[in-house]
Amino acid sequence: MSLYTPSSPHMHADTSIAQVMSKVLLALLPGIAAYVWLFGWGIVVQLSFATLLALGAEALMLRLRRRPLLPFLTDGSAIVTAWLLCLSIPPIAPWWITAIGVLFAIVLAKHLYGGLGYNPFNPAMVGYAALLISFPAEMTAWQAPQPLDLAQAASLIFLAPPREVLDAVTSATPMDFLRTQLGLDKTVDEVIAHSPLFGYLAGKTQEILNLMFLLGGLWLIKQRIIGWQIPVAMLASLAIMAAVFHLYDPERFASPAFHLASGAVMLGAFFIATDPVSASTTPRGRLIYGAGIGILVYVIRTWGGYPDGVAFAVLLLNICAPTIDYYTKPRVFGHGDKD
Amino acid sequence: MKRELFSFTGGIRFDDYHKRESTRQAVVAAPLPARLVLPLHQHIGEGGEALVQPGDKVLKGQPIARAVSYVSAPLHAPTSGTVVKVGDEKVPHPSGLSAPCIVIEPDGEDTWAPRQSHARDYAEMNPSALRNLIREAGIVGLGGAGFPSYVKLNPGHNPVETLILNGAECEPFITCDDMLMRQRADEIVKGSLIIRHALGARQTLIAIEDNKPEAIAAMRGAVQRLAPEHTEVVSVPTLYPAGGEKQLIYTLTGKEVPSDGLPVHIGVVCQNVATTGAIFRAVYHGEPLLSRWLTVTGGVAEPRNLEVLLGTPVDELIRFCGGKPERCRRIIMGGPMMGFALHAHDLPVIKTTNCILVDDGRQPDLAGRQYAMPCIRCGACADACPVRLLPQQLYWYAQAGEFDRCQEYHLFDCIECGCCDYVCPAHLPLVQYYRYAKGEIWKRERERQQAELARERHEFRLFRLEREKKERAAKRQQKKAALAKETSAQGDAQAKQAAIQAALERVKAKKARQTRENTPPEQGDS
């Protein structure tokens, strides 16, 4: 019998991309549970629909690109993309919004760039940005915090309900609300104190969601699926920016706590900015990359034209990632300080 | 006082080191095989040159090959017998190729050649003589790399502060150094005193990973008895590759060996514990390196350590330990991280063989590589790299054939420990890519040098042709000039002669005319 003679090492850790992706999905579950509790079953409908669509699109593209189906369909990366996109758009967004977003992410942002591992931009965020620019009305009609049952949610998503029905179940996000009110010369404290939208730190629903994504994210760090650098740098820089401006003028600029508990911050910090393919990979590079995102999130939120800035901040830093990596190469063992 | 230790970055903590399996049984000598195959080249540097011919009778310990250069090592007959062949045989090498070997058929007598002990007088020998003794004993690094030991014992002008004995044995499965330290601690400590004498080192640190408490205790006992001063047994954290030379030096001293330098440049010399034991035997008993301890483990019924004569075929060892060589899927020489898979069952044990790891398809930790996916740049490899390289970038450039970039990212600092490969969730054969890139770069370097040489030769040839042409032209010129001078000289003479002749003629004619005028006319007007 001829012997098997592969190259060393002959031992491998029990790990795989599928394992990594499943852990990411698992870490999203607390946040998803909070969604269901706060908003009802809309998110579950969206996630199921998006998952099927993403796998279908992935299979089609793999077939077109003549890649083996099984290893790539089971690697979980398409599902992660689909879920992150769903968690970024309103839970009762019409089905075609989800469909366009998923197809954009999988076909364009992922496979046309070469598939898994080759996409320079975070596919979910490319899909989200495309949707936000193309369909701003649907994308900003956030669901009011009231739990819908499965039938209600499904009909809202798939049956194109009339405008009045939709208006009854949607409302501005707390951050949107704050922004418009600040535009009317109210102070931050006034707005937050006089609206039922707000809870302890920020939007009532948002602070809960952010807490849940934070918990999932911390678990990912503990599992060594993601490094601590990007989330910590992003949250720290966002908090520092907010603190500086809040100290300068607390009436016009919300507190760091408000910013940390608002919008897609925790989802962004632990699940989106940490997408390894499109992020920086050197230890110092990850700090710079995360910090850059945090600063941009604050800038876009405060002075930009969009309610939240995570998607654009991540995409902008995706562009910088290769350059950041190039200039932050670690000092190799035995090479002195200069190189 | 507890010694301060430094931790290198990265590294792997394995869940199961599989060391217990092979440490349960006492070490015994493996049975004498029918045939010993001894490759002339079983160390780093140049292979030896055979001193024997087929038909020669050899005694145990008799030199059968000599070192041919500074970095080379001699070879000795592991037992008495007859040389039956000097020529190419299959050798244990990742390439699977054949190489020159000496084949001995043992006579079973095991008759020693004369030996000389220096147990009493080695302290009076000068380091150079001591080094020569170790060189003639054929001792090379037994930890796996196989660098001729005496070369390391020559620090040149560099003062040596610390001798480090490497007993880390950080790869899973391997336990031969562990067993040697447990059972022959005294020999190792005595050997360390010999080395320290040769180096003039101030202190000795014996580093052992903390997953070997028995070895640590045995070595501490021996140090207490034999060298209570300036020698310390240091328990280092179990973290692969703690036994890598540069990693171990950093762990113990906090100093990094420069990328382009040697340990001795920062005042450190490292020797493996088994090498130290071999040096002891060479000096105290006059025994050259004829056998070594090695671990046979994995898919065998009785994993254990054996004392094995160099040249013993691997399949006999597997059989001796209750394994079935014909059922092996893969036989790894060395550890699971840095060892290489053998191309045949009956390849011989060489000086650097510390482990025979048998994969019979039922070892869950040796399951083999899964389908390779694309790199997702997760950076797990960079976190695991003990040298702080960026394996994901090296892989990227290696597969793209951008070898200049590989060098820019310090490919040649890679020690091929396999940590990046081990943790890669995409199951990429990273180390294989790095070996390939290194090979390509060497090839290009050689080609470049050859091209350079060819260019120089060509330019010199053109220059020579030009010079010869010029020389020829000059010569021709000279000749021509000489010829011209000669002909013109000849011409002058003729001209002179002609002139003289003409003058003579003229004189003659004049005389004749005068005679005619002076003579009265015979008839005339008078």
Per-residue pLDDT tens, chain B, 526 aa: give them: 578 999 999 999 999 999 999 999 999 999 999 999 999 998 888 888 999 999 999 999 999 999 988 889 999 999 999 999 999 999 999 888 899 999 999 999 999 999 988 878 888 888 889 999 999 999 999 987 889 999 999 988 889 999 999 999 999 999 999 999 999 999 999 999 999 999 999 999 999 999 999 999 999 999 999 988 899 999 999 999 999 999 999 999 999 999 989 999 999 999 999 999 999 999 999 999 999 999 999 999 999 999 999 999 999 999 999 999 988 999 999 999 999 999 999 999 999 999 999 999 888 888 888 899 999 999 999 999 999 999 999 999 999 999 999 999 999 999 999 999 999 999 999 999 999 999 999 999 899 889 988 988 899 899 999 999 999 999 998 988 888 887 777 767 777 788 888 888 888 887 777 766 665 544 444 3
- In one letter, which amino acid is A132? L
> To 10 degrees, the CA torsion angle through A206, A211, A215, A221?
80
**Percentage, residues of chain A above pLDDT 90:** 68
pLDDT cut 70: percent of chain A above it: 99
* Cβ-contact A276, A319 below 8 angstroms: no
Q: Give the whole-angstrom CA distance, residue B509 versus residue A187.
A: 149
Contact between A10 and B379 using a beta-carbon 8 Å cutoff: no
- The pLDDT value recorded for residue B516 is 65
Cα four-point dihedral sign A319, A324, A325, A326: positive
Q: Do B379 and A276 touch (CB under 8 A)?
A: yes
Of B246, B334, B429, the CB nearest to A334: B246
**Which chain A positions have a beta carbon within 8 Å of B409's beta carbon?**
329
Contacts of A7 in chain B (CB under 8 A): 94, 340, 429, 431-432, 435
CA-based nearest residue in chain A for residue B259: A334
Chain A CB contacts of B355 under 8 Å are none
The pTM of the full predicted model, rounded to 2 decimals, is 0.86
Per-residue burial over A81-118, b if 16 or more Cβ lie within 10 Å, else e, is bbbbbbbbbbbbbbbebbebbbbbbbbbbbbeeebbbe
Test B374 with A282 for CB contact under 8 angstroms.
Answer: no
Instruction: Say what the pLDDT of residue A202 is.
Output: 75
Tokens of A156: 């809202």
Distance from CA of A33 to the nearest CA of B (A): 27
Q: Do B365 and A6 touch (CB under 8 A)?
A: no
pLDDT at position A183: 77
Q: Are the CB atoms for A98 and A50 separated by under 8 Å?
A: yes
Please state whether the peptide bond connecting residue A68 to the residue before it is cis, i.e. omega within 30 degrees of 0: no
Q: What is the mean pLDDT of residues A33-43?
A: 92
Cα B496–chain centre separation: 84
The yes-or-no verdict on residue A339 having pLDDT over 50 is: no
**Antiparallel, parallel or unpaired: β B81-90 and B98-106:** antiparallel
Distance CA B163, CA B168 (A): 14
Task: For chain A, list residues whose CB is within 8 angstroms of any CB belonging to chain B.
Answer: 1, 3-13, 15-17, 19-20, 71-72, 75, 77, 115-118, 224, 227, 276-277, 279, 281-283, 325, 329-336
Sheet order of strands, B63-66 included: B49-50, B63-66, B75-76
Please tell me if residue B423 touches chain A, with a CB cutoff of 8 Å.
Answer: yes
Q: Which residue has the tokens 């070369």?
A: B151
Cα Rg for chain A, rounded, in angstroms? 21
Report which of B219, B226, B203 is spatially closest to residue B167, judged by C-alpha positions: B219
CB B105 within 8 A of CB B79: no
Question: CA B42, CA B64: separation in Å to the nearest integer?
Answer: 14
Question: Is the Cβ pair B377, A277 closer than 8 Å?
Answer: yes
- For chain A, the residue count is 339
Q: Which residues lie closer than 8 Å to B15 by C-beta, 6 or more apart?
A: none
What was the pLDDT predicted at A204? 79
| The pLDDT value given to residue B525 | 44
- Is the N-terminal amide bond of A91 cis, ω within 30° of 0? no
Q: Of chain B residues 180-219, which have a CB less than 8 A from chain A?
A: none
Please tell me the distance from the alpha carbon of residue B106 to that of residue B88, in angstroms, as a whole number.
19
Nearest to B258 among A11, A282, A334 (CB): A334
Are B181 and B167 a contacting pair, CB within 8 Å? Answer: yes
Tell me the pairing of strands B49-50 and B63-66.
antiparallel
pLDDT in tens, A138-148: 888 888 878 88
Count of CB atoms situated within 10 Å of the CB of B260: 10
Q: Which residue shows structure tokens 């950080």? A: B170
Q: With a CB-CB cutoff of 8 Å, which residues 76-105 of chain B face chain A?
A: 94, 96
Is B357 in Cβ contact with A12 (below 8 Å)?
no
Indicate yes or no: CB of B427 within 8 angstroms of CB of A12: yes
Residue of A nearest to B392 (CA): A281
Q: Which of residues 486-525 of B touch A (CB under 8 A)?
A: none
* Over residues A113-126, mean pLDDT: 94
pLDDT at B517: 60
A248 residue type, one letter: Y
Whether B358 contacts chain A with CB within 8 A? no
Query: Cα torsion for A44, A50, A56, A59, to the nearest 10°?
Result: -100
Of residues B234, B325, B282, B302, the one with CA closest to residue B6: B234
As a whole number, the mean pLDDT across chain A is 91
How would you label A133-162 residue by residue, b for 16+ Cβ within 10 Å and e otherwise?
Answer: eebeebbbbbbebeebeeebbbebbeeebe
| Interface contact flag, B388 A330, Cβ < 8 Å | yes
- Give how far the C-alpha of residue A271 lies from the chain's centroid of Cα atoms, to the nearest Å: 6
pLDDT of res. B524:
42
Please give the span between the terminal C-alpha atoms of chain A, in angstroms, as a whole number.
Answer: 50
Name the range with the highest mean pLDDT among A92-101, A156-165, A176-185. A92-101
A–B interface: beta-carbon pairs under 8 A: 169
Q: What is the mean pLDDT of residues A6-16?
A: 92
Answer whether B174's CB lies under 8 Å from B335's CB.
yes
The alpha-carbon radius of gyration of chain B (Å, integer) is 38
Q: Which of A9, A16, A282 sits opposite B337 (nearest CB)?
A: A9
Closest-CA residue in chain A for B389? A332
Q: Name the closest residue on chain B to residue A11, using Cα atoms.
A: B366
Mean pLDDT score, A182-193: 78
The minimal CB distance from A17 to the residues B12, B369, B425 is found for B425
Instruction: Write the single-letter amino acid at B89.
Output: E
User: Around Cβ A30, how many Cβ atoms within 10 Å?
Assistant: 18
Q: Of all helices (H) and strands (E), which one includes residue B106?
A: strand B98-106
